[in-house]
Amino acid sequence: MRRKTSIIAPRFVVALIVACGIALIAPRAALAHAILVSSQPAANSTVSGPDVAVLLKYSSRVDLEHSTLTLLDPDGKVEKITINSETSPGSLSAKLTGLVKGGYVLRWQILAMDGHITRGTIPFLVK
């Protein structure tokens, strides 16, 4: 005569192992989101023009083909910025040229390798 608990016990163990596996993997997925770690120019900084190097560093790899940079100039005009294709895996770089004195907003949007899109803005002033 077999006891019913002997059939349930292996299923419970398997379910427990699967639950533990999911619990261990879930935080890694959350940590894979790319977060802006540093920027050049820094937010709310003042830089010298007319040419300004842009370097944005993220906490994880980004997909350059699906990432964008745009610049809002002092007159409100929006310009798409070409991203340097030889940037390291966790960063975006570009060169802004011909900037005049005034306030600018650099807008970035990136696709992280985990498939999530994040975006932000970096206001700065050209003197």
| 72: phi then psi, degrees, rounded to nearest 5 | -100, 120
Is pLDDT of 123 > 50?
yes
More confident: 7 or 39: 39
pLDDT band, residue 7 (cuts 50/70/90): low
What mean pLDDT do residues 8-22 have?
62
Return the residue matching tokens 């900037």.
99
At 113 the pLDDT is 84
Distance (Å, whole) CA 53 – CA 99 = 11
> pTM, whole model, 2 decimals?
0.73
pLDDT digits (tens, 9 = 90+) for 82-120: 999 887 889 999 999 999 999 999 999 999 888 899 999
* Counts for the chain of helices (H) and strands (E), in that order: 1, 8
Between 125 and 17, whose confidence is greater? 125
